């Protein structure tokens, strides 16, 4: 699957350390949010799939 880069290496080089840190943590946070949503989907599927005859 082709995925686009969020920032390029060139862009990275122009970033200050503080920006790098902020960016890195923002990625971590979004990733955790996606994990929570996946978990929620799994719960719903588990809860309602048993209803399907």
Positions that interact with another protein (CB under 8 A): 1, 3-7, 9, 11-13, 15-38, 40-42, 44-45, 47-49, 51-53
Name the minimum Å distance from CB 46 to another protein. 11
39-41-46-50 Cα dihedral, nearest 10 degrees: 180
CA gap 49, 43 in Å, rounded: 10
Cβ 26 to another protein, closest distance in Å?
5
Contact criterion met (CB below 8 Å) for 7 and 20: no
CB 2 → another protein: shortest distance, Å?
10
């Amino acid at each position: 699957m082709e995925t686009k880069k969020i920032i390029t290496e060139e862009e990275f080089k122009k970033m200050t350390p503080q920006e790098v840190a902020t960016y890195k943590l923002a990625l971590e946070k979004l990733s955790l949010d996606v994990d929570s949503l996946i978990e929620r989907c799994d719960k719903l599927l588990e809860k309602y799939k048993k209803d399907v005859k």
